[in-house]
Structure formats: structure tokens, C-alpha cells
């Protein structure tokens, strides 16, 4: 690893609690011990990989686990992209790196090279955050009962943030305005985010109905008797009323348990030994989606030799899981509207891209698009790129709209809640354009003879 890249990585990955946002002391230093020689079953590659721990509280013995994949070519000149998964409480290593856009994807006992890995464009830092997620740990496990959103400090280089979480937005609101940390935050991209509780959850009914998953009668019930935001609130309190219970029961019966709500067009993984290799043929070319990739990842990351290669360890838990079983998240925080913080970021001069997989019913694009349009009006931003299609090679890859020069929205056609899982090529085009500050391709790629 380039010596300057070492310092840059560690400065970028310092995680602090809200009252220590300005702190820049007690930085760990990355050593050769963090370098991954090779991961079990991986193909040969020419880029460096590092993994290990960043101690964030020595007294309480808390540490965050990171996995860092250098850019495939010329890493010293490429930007740093920090990826944080949401959940809340789900692993950036397991979901982001191994299921979405990292350099490899597990398949049985081996790792397959991901031809659409985002480290083709950037140095990718995957941080399992907060403590208690994945391999990140606190020896004092009472910490898990009162986990707050955390801030990450970035220094020295152009920095881009991509994520599906929303909690981190609050601290990206630069609450440390009274001090002067060395930020070089350039842009932030938020995929399939929870921006505003009522709008996002209530858009589910229209999404299900418009995709033929629920009947007219059930859709009417969601609009007149009990909507999704009511159901979610009651479920969080454990007080679902009989009328809401009836509505959700009817919807569940009609949708069935054989539909993946994170991508309503995908087949589901049949969790039996004989069907672990179930795949879905994509419409274009001969690419396939391994709908059991999450199961494969869980098995891979729980292998002892894999954990040793990653310099990882299980502390206070016996099994690595995709989403934390120990964190106790205050679900009331879900109702804090994060769309306002996106507005503050835009006003501070940070370009924000919000994107949606258009087959995700968990956070449907219908609500997200409405909220971004509303935000643009509140900020007084004129539409500079009217709603239009964008392309990946010779196919429509989605739709986009740009407001002023600081706020953009895009959908990815055929994409799930986990962006590059179902549309890796299109997601890579979106990512590359985002990093390069380029508009999304607006026409077919023509071949000249």
C-alpha cells in the first residue's frame, strides 16, 4: 500500500461518537499485518487488500472492522469511497462487499471475480458500523443497548460516500461547524433510502398495487382503513389493532411468501441443500443472478480460515451474521426525517445523488422521487436536466432528473434494494458517472464503421 494511502485510510476510517466529532487524536496506524495475502478460494488479482480493526474506544474495548480493496489500477490517483450499509445494523462487508459490488462473490468453496466491482473506479473502504455489526465488537456488551448514530471523519483526499443507510446523514450535516476538521467530502450518494417515514412507507401500497401484487380491494383498504406507516408504528410498539392486522394479513396472503420484497421481479432463494445454486436468468445477454448469494456469504465468512485471512475474530458472538443480532436500535429514530439533512448538505455545497432500484418495494422509488422533487422546490432549485432515460450500452438503464448542479435523482431499471446485486453493469455506470461528475449517458452507444 502506498505510504500516503495508509494515513489517508486511517484518517478516513476514524469513527467517533457525536460529542467527539472534532477529535483527531489516537489514530491507529495500519500495518503490514493488515495486508491480506490471499482470501481462501480467490482468483489471482493485482490490487492490494487490507482488513483489520480500528480501535475507537480503548477503555471500553470497542473496535470497528474494515475491509479495504485498492483500485484495480493506479490506486494512488483514485478517490476513496466509503460504503456503509443500512438495516439498521447490517454488514457493509457481507452485503456491500460480497453481495453487491466488491471484487469477489462467494460460490461454494471459492470466490468468483466480480467483473463489475466498484474498485475498478475507486479505492473501496467497507466499514462494519456501528460496533456490534459483523466482526465489529464491544467487549462491554451493554454498549449494544444504547447505540447512537456515529460520525466518520475524512481527511486529505477527495472523498465520496455511498450508502444505503440514512442515520449517518445526521452527522454528515456537519454538526462540527464550530471546529475546522480537514474535510474533503466531495459528494454523497444515497441508494434506496428512508427519507421520510410516512411518505416512504405509505408508497408501498401503490407500488404493490401497480405491480399487480395486491388486489384493488386491498389497495383501497390501505388508503381508507389502515396504511403502511400505521402498521409499521403499531408493529414497533407491539400493539397492532385488529383492523390493521386484517389489512396486512390480506396483503400478505395476496403477495405470498414467495416474493422477494427487496426485488419483486426476482426469484427467491430456496433454502435447501439441493437448491443452493438456484439462479435467475437476466433478460439481457447470458448474465445470471445468484439469488442465494447471501447464504453463500454467510457460509464463507463463518469459515475459520476465512476469518484468519481477514484478521477478523468473533467477540461475544458465536456466528457472523449479515445483520446484527445483538444491537438494540431505537426504532423511533426511523421517524426522524433525513430529507432535511440532505437539504443541508446541498446548501453546504456537497453534491447529493439519490438513487432507487425501481423493483424495490421496501423503500419504493415512488416515495423517494416525490420527496426529492419536494426538496428541490423547497431549496428553490430549478430543473436543469428534465426527467429522461439514461443508458447502459444499448439499453435503457433507468431515469434521471437533475436540479441545479447540487441535487440529482436516478432510478436504475430492474434494480433491487441492494443496488448492484441485480443490475451490476448499470450500477457501475451510475457509480462511474457519479465519481466523474458526468451526466448519466443520454443516448445509445453508436458504433462507427
Say which range, 1-15, 318-332, 336-350, 373-387, has the weakest mean pLDDT.
1-15
Q: Alpha-carbon Rg of the chain, whole angstroms?
A: 22
Q: In terms of residue numbers, what domain contains 364?
A: 1-200+290-449
360, HSE (Cβ side, Cα atoms, 13 Å): 30
The candidate with the shortest Cα–Cα distance to 48, out of 2, 116, 82, 93, is 2
Between CA 431 and CA 438 the distance in angstroms is: 10
Distance CA 335, CA 316 (A): 31
Residue carrying the nine cell digits 408508497: 203
Cα→Cα distances 86→82, 154, 262, Å: 13, 20, 14
Average pLDDT over residues 20-40: 60
> What is the structure's pLDDT at 19?
24
Residue 53 inside a domain? The answer is: yes
The per-residue pLDDT for 276 is 28
User: 32-46, 120-134, 184-198: which has the minimum mean pLDDT?
Assistant: 184-198
The mean of the pLDDT values for the chain is 82
Q: Answer yes or no: is 376 within a domain.
A: yes
Query: Are 354 and 190 a contacting pair, CB within 8 Å?
Result: yes
In the block, residue with C-alpha cell 445468484: 290
The answer to whether 68 and 124 have CB atoms below 8 angstroms apart is yes
Backbone angles phi, psi at 167, to 5 degrees: -60, -35
The CA angle 66-68-73, to the nearest 5 degrees, is 175
Indicate the range of 69-78, 144-153, 297-306 predicted with least confidence.
144-153
Higher pLDDT, 271 or 41: 41
Q: Is 2 within a domain?
A: yes
Rounded to the nearest 5 degrees, what angle is found at the Cα of 135, between the Cα atoms of 131 and 139? Answer: 55
Show the 3-state SS of the chain: CCHHHHHHHHHHHCEECHHHCCCCCCCCCCCHHHECCCCCCCCCCCCCEEEEEEEEECCCCEEEEEEEECCCCCHHHCCEEEEECCCCCECHHHHHHHHHHCCEEEECCEEEECCCCHHHCCEEEEEECCCCCCCCEECCHHHHHHCCCCEECCCCCCEEEEECCCHHHHHHHCCCCCCCCCCCEEEEEEECCCCCHHHHHHHHHHHHHHCCCCCHHHHHHHHHCCCHHHHHHHHHHCCCCHHHHHHHHHHHHHHCCCCCCCCCCCCCCCCCHHHCCCEEECCCCCCEEECCHHHHHHHHHCCHHHHHHCCCCCCCCCCCCCECCCCCCCHHHHHCCCHHHHHHHHHCCCEEEEEEECCCCCCCHHHHHHHHHHHHHHHCCCEEEEEEEEEECCEEEEEEEEECCCEEEEEECCCCCCHHHHCHHHHHHHHHHHHHCCCCCCCCCCCCC
Report yes or no on 430 lying in a domain.
yes
d(CA 262, CA 361): 6
Find all residues with CB under 8 Å of 350, minimum gap 6, and list them.
185, 186, 187, 188, 406
Interatomic CA distance for residues 234 and 27, integer angstroms: 43
Answer whether residue 245 is part of any domain: no
CATH number for the domain spanning 426: value is 3.40.50.1820
Q: Which conformational region is residue 13 in: left (phi greater than 0), alpha (psi within -120 to 50 degrees), or beta?
A: alpha
Cβ pair 53, 100 in contact under 8 A: no
Nearest to 161 by CA among 192, 190, 195: 190
pLDDT in tens, 73-129: 999 999 989 898 887 889 999 999 999 999 999 998 999 999 999 999 999 999 998
What region does 331 belong to: left with phi over 0, alpha with psi -120 to 50, or beta? Answer: alpha
Are the beta carbons of 391 and 443 closer than 8 angstroms? yes
| Crossing angle between the packed helical segments 242-255 and 216-224, to the nearest 10 degrees | 150
Contact 141, 326 (CB under 8 A): yes
Residue 263 in any domain: the answer is no
Among 21-25, 209-213, 277-281, 336-340, the range with the most confident prediction by mean pLDDT is 209-213
Based on the structure, what is the number of domains in the chain? 1
**Within a domain: residue 307?**
yes
Phi and psi at residue 375, to the nearest 5°: -60, -45
Q: In angstroms, rounded to a whole number, what is the distance separating the alpha carbons of residues 330 and 344?
A: 24
Answer whether the bond into residue 88 is a cis peptide, omega within 30°: yes
Confidence of residue 271 (pLDDT cuts 50, 70, 90): low
Handedness of CA 325, 326, 332, 338 (dihedral sign): negative
Confidence of residue 196 (pLDDT cuts 50, 70, 90): very high
Q: Answer yes or no: is pLDDT of 52 > 70.
A: yes
The number of beta carbons lying within 10 Å of the beta carbon of residue 383 is 12
pLDDT at 445: 52
In a domain? residue 176: yes
Amino acid at each position: 500500500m502506498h505510504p500516503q494511502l495508509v494515513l489517508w485510510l486511517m484518517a478516513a476510517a476514524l469513527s467517533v461518537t457525536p460529542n467527539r466529532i472534532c477529535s483527531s487524536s489516537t489514530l491507529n496506524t495500519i500495518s503490514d499485518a493488515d495486508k491480506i495475502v490471499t482470501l481462501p478460494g480467490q482468483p489471482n488479482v493485482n490490487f492490494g487488500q487490507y482488513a483489520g480493526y480500528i480501535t475507537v474506544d480503548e477503555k471500553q474495548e470497542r473496535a470497528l472492522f474494515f475491509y479495504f480493496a485498492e483500485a484495480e489500477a493506479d490506486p494512488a490517483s483514485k478517490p476513496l469511497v466509503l460504503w456503509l450499509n443500512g438495516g439498521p445494523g447490517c454488514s457493509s462487508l457481507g452485503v456491500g462487499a460480497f453481495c453487491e459490488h466488491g471484487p469477489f462473490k462467494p460460490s461454494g468453496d471459492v470466490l468468483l471475480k466480480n467483473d463489475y466491482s466498484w474498485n475498478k473506479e475507486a479505492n473501496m473502504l467497507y466499514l462494519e458500523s456501528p460496533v456490534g455489526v459483523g466482526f465489529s465488537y464491544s467487549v462491554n456488551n451493554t454498549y449494544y443497548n444504547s447505540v447512537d448514530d456515529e460520525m466518520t471523519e475524512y481527511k486529505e483526499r477527495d472523498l465520496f460516500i455511498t450508502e444505503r443507510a440514512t442515520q449517518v446523514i445526521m452527522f454528515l450535516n456537519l454538526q462540527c461547524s464550530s471546529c475546522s476538521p480537514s474535510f474533503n467530502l466531495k459528494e454523497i450518494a444515497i441508494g434506496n433510502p428512508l427519507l421520510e417515514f410516512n411518505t416512504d412507507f405509505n408508497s408501498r401500497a401503490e407500488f404493490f398495487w401497480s405491480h399487480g401484487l395486491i388486489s384493488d380491494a386491498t389497495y383501497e383498504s390501505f388508503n381508507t382503513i389502515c396504511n403502511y406507516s400505521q402498521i409499521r408504528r403499531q408493529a414497533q410498539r407491539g400493539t397492532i389493532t385488529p383492523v390493521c392486522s386484517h389489512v396486512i394479513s390480506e396483503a400478505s396472503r395476496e403477495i405470498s411468501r414467495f416474493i422477494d420484497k427487496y426485488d419483486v421481479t426476482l426469484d427467491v432463494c430456496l433454502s435447501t441443500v439441493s437448491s443452493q445454486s438456484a439462479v435467475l436468468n437476466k433478460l439481457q445477454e447470458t448474465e445470471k443472478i445468484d439469488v442465494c448469494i447471501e447464504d453463500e456469504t454467510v457460509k464463507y465468512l463463518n469459515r475459520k480460515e476465512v476469518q484468519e485471512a481477514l484478521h477478523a475474530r468473533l467477540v461475544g458472538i458465536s456466528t457472523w451474521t449479515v445483520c446484527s443480532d445483538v444491537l438494540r436500535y431505537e426504532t423511533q429514530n426511523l421517524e426522524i426525517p433525513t430529507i432535511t439533512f440532505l437539504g443541508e448538505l446541498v446548501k453546504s455545497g456537497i453534491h447529493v445523488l439519490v438513487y432507487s432500484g425501481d423493483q424495490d418495494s421496501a423503500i419504493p422509488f415512488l416515495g423517494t422521487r416525490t420527496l426529492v422533487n419536494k426538496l428541490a422546490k423547497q431549496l428553490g432549485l430549478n430543473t436543469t436536466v428534465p426527467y429522461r432515460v439514461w443508458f447502459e450500452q444499448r439499453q435503457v438503464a433507468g431515469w434521471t432528473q437533475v436540479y441545479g448542479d447540487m441535487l440529482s435523482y436516478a432510478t436504475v431499471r430492474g434494480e433491487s434494494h441492494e443496488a448492484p446485486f441485480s443490475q451490476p453493469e448499470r450500477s457501475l455506470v451510475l457509480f462511474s458517472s457519479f465519481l466523474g461528475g458526468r451526466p448519466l449517458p443520454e443516448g445509445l452507444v453508436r458504433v462507427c464503421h
